[in-house]
Amino acid sequence: MVYNITLYTKPECHLCDDARAILDTIFAEAQDDTLFALREVDIRLNETDYALYRYRIPVIIVNGAIVAEGRMDDYARSAIERALVI
């Protein structure tokens, strides 16, 4: 299965860096037959994205559903893993 993941972010966002690190760890630990398509979106480049996510970033969407946002803690990681069926 291919998981389409969108990470809404912006430069110089330490929470966004934490989110990306969690995703990178999950990707590295995944089985070889699991495929991920990651798209990083800078919210500053689109007015709609900025209005929706400026106070919520980072926001991680898996296959169209928001699974984690804001501070990335163990709960957020678990939510991401559940969405990825890992």
Please say whether the dihedral angle defined by the alpha carbons of residues 15, 85, 1 and 30, taken in this order, is positive or negative: positive
Range of the domain at 44: 2-83
pLDDT digits (tens, 9 = 90+) for 3-60: 999 999 999 999 999 999 999 999 999 887 789 999 999 999 999 999 999 999 999 9
Exposed, middle or buried by CB within 10 Å (0-12, 13-18, 19+), for 63?
middle
- Quote the pTM value: 0.93
- What residues are paired with 68 via a beta bridge? 60
Our count of domains for the chain comes to 1
Instruction: Provide the CATH number for the domain around residue 29.
Output: 3.40.30.10
Strand order in the sheet with 35-42: 35-42, 2-9, 59-62, 65-69
Token pair of 55, please?
């106070």
- Reply yes or no on whether the pLDDT at 61 is more than 70: yes
